[in-house]
């Protein structure tokens, strides 16, 4: 009876989280749209533009948080978390992620760099581009919070029929005893800096769940005081491989 009651209470709590996040989406999106429109005013003073830029960054982070909370509540509560595979160009998603993340680095002490080989820019692959984008934005956002100087790199590689995505930083690193805990819900590594925000600890949890549903894996390597690497490995169903399979099937009378 106790377990059943606890499950009921947990489910009720998740329903509340889901309802609240749904309600927050509209005002957040409206505020975001207003700030983006205001930023286009060519007569803005430099001081006003900088203030609007900071406000927009805060709203964008809030939007990511709300979406992550909603997704996580769906995964934990009902499992109704959908993946929608489709064909897309890898370069398009990486460019979008680069644009999404550029505002996370207002401090010139930290550089955000993207390394995408030319041969992968036009690679057409089949997966869920929205979820891949969500994972990469979360990983870069996480790195930006713990890096006060140096760089955060997004590196794209191919290893046969696998797509490798790495986010590397020169941040504070993770204590050895916490390596296995970073994907736990609401876990936060102590920053040891004067930065006010270190996040909520749900972005990495959600990223792991998404990667699992994409039939991939995510690992973390870190040296405390030197930096961290998040390594994502995804199956690469590319149009090149499909073309070979289709030709083989047709030559053998497959339908």
**DSSP sequence for 47-71:** HHHHHHHHHHHHHHHHHHHHHHHHH
pLDDT at residue 13, as a whole number: 53
How would you write the pLDDT of the chain (255 residues) with one tens digit per residue?
Answer: 334 344 444 455 556 666 776 677 788 888 888 888 888 888 889 889 888 888 887 887 777 777 777 777 767 666 667 889 999 999 999 999 999 898 889 888 999 999 999 999 999 999 999 999 999 999 999 999 999 999 999 999 999 999 999 999 999 999 999 998 999 877 776 655 444 445 667 889 899 999 999 999 999 999 999 999 999 999 998 665 544 444 444 444 544
Pairing assessment for the beta strands 150-159 and 110-115 based on DSSP bridges: parallel
Strands (E), the chain: 86-89, 110-115, 124-127, 150-159, 162-169, 217-223, 227-235
Task: Identify the H or E element spanning 24.
Answer: helix 2-39
pTM summary value: 0.75
pLDDT at residue 243, as a whole number: 47
pLDDT at residue 239, as a whole number: 67
Strands (E), 90-236: 110-115, 124-127, 150-159, 162-169, 217-223, 227-235
Instruction: Judge whether 156 and 120 are in contact, CB under 8 Å.
Output: yes
pLDDT at residue 244, as a whole number: 45
Say which residue the tokens 């405390």 belong to: 224
Q: Can you list the domains of the chain with their CATH numbers?
A: 2-77 (1.10.287), 86-240 (3.30.565.10)
């Amino acid at each position: 009876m106790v377990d059943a009651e606890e499950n009921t209470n947990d489910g009720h709590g998740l329903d509340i989280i889901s309802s609240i996040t749904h309600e927050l989406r509209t005002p957040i999106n409206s505020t975001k749209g207003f700030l983006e429109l205001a930023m286009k005013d060519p007569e803005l003073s430099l001081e006003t533009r900088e203030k609007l830029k900071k406000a927009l960054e805060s709203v964008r982070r809030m939007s990511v948080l709300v979406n992550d909370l909603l997704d996580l509540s769906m995964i934990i509560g009902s499992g109704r978390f959908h993946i929608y595979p489709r064909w897309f160009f890898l370069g398009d998603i990486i460019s979008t992620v680069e644009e999404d993340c550029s505002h996370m680095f207002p401090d010139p002490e930290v550089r955000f760099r993207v390394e995408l080989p030319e041969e992968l820019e036009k690679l057409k692959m089949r997966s869920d581009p929205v979820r891949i984008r969500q994972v990469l934005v979360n990983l870069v956002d996480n790195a930006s919070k713990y890096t006060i100087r140096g760089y955060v790199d997004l590196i794209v590689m191919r290893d046969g029929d696998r797509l490798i995505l790495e986010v590397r930083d020169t941040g504070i690193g993770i204590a050895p005893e916490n390596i296995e805990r970073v994907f736990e819900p609401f876990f936060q590594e102590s920053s040891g800096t004067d930065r006010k925000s270190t996040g909520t600890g749900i972005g990495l949890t959600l990223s792991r769940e998404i990667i699992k549903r994409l039939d991939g894996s995510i690992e973390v390597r870190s040296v405390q005081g030197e930096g961290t690497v998040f390594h994502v490995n995804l199956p690469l169903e590319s149009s090149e491989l499909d073309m070979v399979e289709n030709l083989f099937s047709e030559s053998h009378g497959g339908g």
